[in-house]
Structures are given as C-alpha cells and as structure tokens.
C-alpha cells in the first residue's frame, strides 16, 4: 500500500500496516519505531516510521522474531544475511517436519481405505513408511540452492520436462546417498560386464531369474533391459540405494506395465530406496501411487524441486501430468522432424 505524505495517528497507522495498535507499541518498546508525540501526548507516525513499519511487518511474515528484526534493521548487510540464513535453516527444519507429517497422514489414509473396519489400529499407527532424509546444495542450473528431502520414500519417481535439470538432480542424489548405485543410460553398453561387476551371489541370480519369469508371465517382452534392472535391484542384497536414469528406456509399454507391480512387491523387503527418473505414464500412473511412493518434480524454471502429492488439485499435480507421456508419444517426440510423417 502506498504511504501518504502526512503523519498518522496510531489507529490509522495500524490500519495502514495491517497490524494492531498493541503491535505498534510493542515495536516501539523494542526500539524499532520512534513515533513523534503531539502536545497532547498522542503518537504520530511519520512517513519514515511507516516505511520502517512495512519492513518490520514483511520480516515478521517470514517468521523473524523482533530481536532478529532489530538486528537486521540496525546492522550491516553481512549481519542481515546471517540472520536470514539462520531463519532459512529453521524453515528448512520445519518444512522437513511437515513433509514427514504429511507422509504419515497419507500412510494412515491409505491404511484406512484398505481396511476401513480397523480404524482404531490404523489411527494408532502413526509410523511413517521406512524413509531416509537427504540434504545438499543443488548443482547447476540451481546454482547452490539448499535442498532438503525429509522423507525419501522406498520408491521415488523423479519427473520433470526436458531441460528441467532432473538428470543432474538424479546424479547428485546418487552421490549423496551412501553407497548408492547409479544406472545411467550407458548401462546398456555391456550388460554382461555390468553383471560381473556387481558380483551377484547364486541366490541373488536365482531371484533375478524368478523375477524375469514373473515379468514374462505378465506380458513383458524386452528381457535384456529388464534383466539389467533386476540385477541392480538384487545387488548387495538390496541394501544399496538405487538411482535409475529413465527407468523406461528400452522397454515397451507392456514391459513397463509389468515392471511396476513387481517393483512395488520387491520394495517390501528391499532395504535401499529406489529413485526412478521417468517421463512415462505407464511407469508413473498417478492414480495408483501408493503410500510407500513419492513424486519429486523438477520445474522448468529451475526453482527448487519439490514433492508432489498424487491427488488432483495438489501443488504441481497438473505439471507432473503434462510431463508424462506414453511410450509411443515419447518415440514420436524423439524422432527427427523429417521422419515424423513416416
């Protein structure tokens, strides 16, 4: 709101700033405002007082205490930056707690929907699905912004349009998570060498073959790319975090549709989380996302990635829907324009 050129009485100044008269007096007690006094003893707030009041209100809206605000208004830029950095950290912790609470609520709602006759048991079970917390400074193109993911779900879909930076985020996650296994697109270069490198035990190899047989029965046809995924999932007994670049790469729609139910089944016993970068609606069917799954979205404007809840109307839901495509559509997009009509 523009500031008028005349001074104001306390009631008018409070109305102008959107605070109470009591709040103005508190600001004065803290030395943040120094209004003039009329001969009758009434406070009058000058243009400079009102400008200072706007700054105080703006900083209060960010959650800074009056003591912190006093430090900001009376200090040099370095001290101001330090105070804001402290508040940013506090907000990060609060945001992490809210994310965990949101995951617990989602877990409870899923349980209630599955067994509505057992409300007391599910309402008492506020444990969150197994998850880990990750925090790091985002790489380019985010240029070092702080990123905190309070609850990395057993299965996280990493989604974003072309050029959103999701591959760089996936790589950073693979570097941050202890002992994580990275499956980039180069994974197709030499499958046999990859299997030898992971050195699966006989029992793990048997489980891989069992998984592949299950996938065949469900209609999967692209067995070599699926074998590679199964080998990675079984490596080290399933204890390693696994980050996969474009999990649908090399897979037809039937193979993708067969893969996801098996992946969900394996996550029940797998200790390490799985992060699957995808742009396929066959892999990420929004209507079937379960309580042990999460969607991490990279916006096209390179703002900080955020978790999207799988419900229509939630923040980012429509953007995620637009970023997904069928395998056939992705093949058309990948073709050279000169071939598009062929």
pLDDT one-digit tens code per residue, 281-327: 999 998 888 878 889 999 998 888 988 888 887 788 889 998 897 65
Is residue 211 within 8 A of residue 229, CB to CB? The reply is no
Model confidence at 121: pLDDT above 60: no
Q: Which of 84, 90, 95, 31 is nearest to 59 (CA)?
A: 84
Predicted confidence band of residue 120 (pLDDT cuts 50, 70, 90): very low
Q: Say how far apart CA 38 and CA 28 lie, in whole Å.
A: 16
Average pLDDT over residues 93-111: 69
Quick one: pLDDT at residue 248?
A: 93
In this structure, are residues 155 and 197 in contact, taking their beta carbons and an 8 Å threshold? no
Residue 194: CA atoms inside 13 Å, Cβ hemisphere, count? 22
> Could you tell me if 63 and 87 are in contact, meaning their C-beta atoms sit under 8 angstroms apart?
yes
Which of 106-110, 199-203, 214-218 is the least confident region? 106-110
> What gap in Å lies between CA 295 and CA 316, rounded to an integer?
10
What's the mean per-residue pLDDT of the chain? 82
Q: Assign 333 a pLDDT band (cuts: 50, 70, 90).
A: low
| Cβ atoms of residues 131 and 103 within 8 Å | yes
Q: pLDDT tens across 206-254, in order? A: 999 999 999 999 999 988 889 999 999 988 777 889 999 999 999 999 9
Any alpha helices (H) in the chain, and if so which ranges? 10-17, 21-29, 47-61, 66-73, 77-114, 119-124, 166-176, 191-198, 202-217, 223-234, 253-267, 317-323, 327-334
Which has more pLDDT, 315 or 106?
Answer: 315
Please state whether beta strands 155-159 and 293-297 pair in parallel, antiparallel, or not at all (unpaired).
parallel
Measured CA to CA in angstroms, residue 105 lies from 91, 108, 124, 128, 216 at distances of 21, 5, 12, 9, 36
| Cβ atoms 45, 13 nearer than 8 A | yes
As beta bridge partners, residue 37 has: 43
Which pLDDT belongs to residue 224?
87
- Residue 283: count other Cβ atoms within 10 Å of its Cβ: 23
* DSSP type of residue 39: T
Higher pLDDT, 268 or 37: 37
């Amino acid at each position: 709101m523009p500031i008028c050129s005349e001074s104001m009485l306390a009631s008018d100044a409070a109305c102008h700033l959107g605070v109470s008269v009591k709040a103005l007096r508190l600001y004065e007690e803290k030395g943040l405002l120094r209004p003039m006094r009329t001969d009758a003893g009434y406070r009058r707030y000058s243009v400079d007082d009102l400008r200072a009041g706007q700054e105080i209100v703006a900083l209060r809206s960010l959650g800074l205490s009056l003591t912190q605000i006093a430090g900001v208004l009376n200090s040099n830029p370095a001290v101001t930056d330090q105070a804001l950095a402290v508040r940013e950290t506090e907000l990060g912790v609060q945001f992490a707690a809210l994310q965990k609470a949101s995951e617990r609520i989602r877990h409870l709602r899923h349980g209630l929907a599955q067994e509505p006759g057992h409300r007391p048991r599910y309402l008492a079970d506020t444990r969150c699905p197994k998850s880990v917390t990750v925090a790091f400074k985002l790489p380019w193109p985010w240029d070092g912004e702080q990123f905190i993911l309070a609850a990395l779900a057993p299965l996280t879909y990493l989604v974003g349009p072309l050029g959103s930076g999701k591959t760089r985020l996936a790589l950073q996650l693979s570097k941050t998570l202890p002992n994580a296994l990275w499956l980039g697109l180069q994974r197709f270069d030499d499958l046999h060498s990859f299997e030898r490198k992971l050195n699966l035990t006989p029992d793990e190899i048997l489980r891989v073959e069992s998984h592949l047989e299950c996938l065949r029965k469900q209609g999967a046809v692209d067995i070599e790319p699926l074998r590679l995924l199964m080998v990675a999932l079984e490596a080290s007994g399933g204890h390693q975090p696994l980050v996969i670049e474009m999990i649908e790469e090399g897979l037809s729609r039937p193979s993708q549709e067969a893969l996801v139910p098996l992946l969900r089944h394996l996550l029940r016993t797998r200790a390490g989380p799985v992060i699957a970068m995808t742009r396929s609606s066959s892999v990420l069917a929004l209507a079937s996302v379960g309580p042990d799954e999460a969607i991490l979205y990279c916006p096209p404007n390179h703002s900080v990635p955020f978790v999207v809840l799988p419900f229509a109307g939630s923040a980012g839901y429509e953007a995620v829907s637009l970023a997904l495509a069928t395998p056939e559509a992705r093949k058309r997009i990948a073709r050279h324009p000169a071939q598009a009509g062929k």
